[in-house]
A = this chain, B = another copy of it.
Amino acid sequence: MNIMKVIGIVGMPGSGKSEAADVARSMGIPVIVMGDVVRKEVADSGQKINSKTLRSMMIELRKKHGKGVVAERCLPKIRSYKSKDVVVVDGLRSLHEVEAFRLEIPDFTILVIHSSPKTRYDRLRERQRKDDPSSQEDFKTRDRLELRIGIGDVIALADIVVSNEANNLSSGKT
């Protein structure tokens, strides 16, 4: 591949990952959203897209094709941007994915967007997207599900950390 650098973004729900991706887009950097791989699979299967179908599809994909599957499916898209110096991949969730990227992309940097649980909860409550938590218990359950996939390991091994405690996450986009 001809790409100089790929930056993979990781962050807990509500940390402001999508905001970071928006900043990249505004700088003309292509952003590949890892969740879109799963979203496409759900759509192709004829199911409605919601947090439940997305989660079970993700689990199914990983069972069938290995834990790096979502990353592997992003590689052709990364390759299609080979004229670009930097490409951003949004939504890392496990070290298996990091390994899958690094097998193909030597210069792969992990960027974590970090916010405190309190800030993340307040943001998610405010934005109230369909799959956002309706209670502290919901929020904690969602966090635990992410941690079980291994997102904490990716965060611990991140190359760059950005603290995002400011309360200006206005877009609320995915």
Contacts and interface: CB of A to CB of B under 8 A. Distances in A.
Contact of A153 (B118, B147, B160): B147
A68 interface: no
Contacts of A123: none
A133 interface: no
Given A114-B161, A163-B161, A163-B163, A147 B143 contact: no
Interface of A: 12, 112, 114, 116-118, 143, 146-147, 150-161, 163
Contacts of A116: 158-160
A161 B159 contact: no
B161 A156 contact: no
Contacts of A143: 156-157
Given A147-B152, A147-B156, A151-B152, 6 more contacts: A116-B160, A117-B157, A146-B156, A147-B153, A147-B157, A150-B152
Nearest to A15: B156
A112 B152 CA distance: 12
Nearest to A116: B159
Interface centre among A147, A156, A158 (most CB of B within 10 A): A156
A156 B160 contact: no
A109 B114 CA distance: 15
A152 B156 contact: yes
B159 A114 contact: no
A115 to B, nearest CB: 9
Contacts of A117: 157, 159
Contacts of A161: 114, 161, 163
Nearest to A159: B116
A114 B10 CA distance: 14
